[in-house]
Amino acid sequence: MQNIPGESNLSPQAANSPPLISDATIETFADNVIALSQQVPVLVDFWADWCEPCKQLMPMLEKLVTSLNGKVALVRVNADQNQELCGQLRVQSLPTVMAFWQGQPVDGFQGAMPESQLKAFIAKLLEMAGSSAESPIDQYLDQAETLLEAGENMQAVELLKQILQAEPGNSRAVITFAEASIAMDNADQALQLIDGLDTEALKDKAIAARVAKLRAAMELAEQAEAAGDVDELEAKVAADPMDHQARFDLSLAWQARGENAKAAECLLAIIMRDREWCDDGARVQLLKLFEAEGPGADFTLKYRRRLSSVLFS
């Protein structure tokens, strides 16, 4: 397996190349922005000391620009000290970010935004410039996720360990490692990994959704450990179709076998007979299955429709 270089060695910037992050005034704007944008896309961040959203936005911009290793540059402009320049560029609120390419402003936005939206904004800019926003680390993560999807769990874990050595705390690597841990029946390690994610990482909707899915899967797995025998439970349900507890236990037994569709059918059967049984327990359990499968999964879409049909019939 290939070794992943340390973050500082990923596509290192040449010694004589312009800095990735710099400051500009009205006197240096032509060189630092217009001229540089002939080589790479340039983000210009207009900010001020008193601007709280500016203080949230700038560190994220600096982090993303640094991670792209020369594919895009960031130029910071202190708006209070460069009011004439702000007037020329019609900057009316802070923070304002303008994107320049080939000497011209091509895109921009006002106000702070989540990191996921910043990534999308930069990706769009790089696509226009004929480049890619995917960093080497992202490429290795793509490979690790492909390995995990193929069931090559150990290979995925080894690659993820190298990624985390190069970039400790990478939230996508951490959550993928947790998913690999679940696949290898190591729920304790998965829980430790996701509990270690910082609050900023959980603001990313994609990461938060993956964490919620993992937590639901772990909860369901813990429930399944106490599941009874399918044949015995089916016999109990056949003898008394109103034995909702037996039918609920049967859903857990099917779930333990990985038969979530059969588990869902049991839960829907309870809801059809008694919607409020056990404090709405059957519906709550079905929602856990949806969360574990993921909101876009065929299973979730099918059984959400079935649930809606039952509840609103």
Domains detected in the chain: 7-128 (3.40.30.10), 136-223 (1.25.40.10), 230-311 (1.25.40.10)
pLDDT of residue 3: 47
pLDDT (tens digit per residue) in 144-188: 999 999 999 999 999 999 999 988 888 999 999 999 998 898 888
What the block records as the tokens of 284 is 């709550």
Q: Return the pLDDT at 232.
A: 94
Which residue ranges of the chain lie beneath pLDDT 70? 1-18, 131-136
Percent of the chain with pLDDT over 70: 92
Q: Are 172 and 159 in contact (CB under 8 A)?
A: no
The enclosing H or E element of 248 equals helix 244-256
Can you give the pLDDT at residue 138?
78
**Residues with a known catalytic role:** 51, 54
Distances (CA, A) of 80 to 27, 98, 195: 15, 17, 42
Tokens of 84: 């004439």
Residue 16: predicted pLDDT: 41
How many CA atoms, within 13 angstroms, populate the side-chain half-sphere of residue 223? 19
pLDDT score, position 132: 55
In sequence order, what are the residues at sequence separation of 6 or more whose Cβ sits closer than 8 angstroms to the Cβ of residue 216? 288, 289, 291, 292
d(CA 177, CA 119): 22
Q: Which pLDDT score, from 0 to 100, does residue 153 have? A: 92
Identity of the residue numbered 105? P
Contacts (Cβ under 8 Å, ≥6 apart) of 186: none
Q: Give the Å distances, CA to CA, from 50 to 80, 113, 215.
A: 10, 18, 40
Q: What is the pLDDT of residue 135?
A: 63
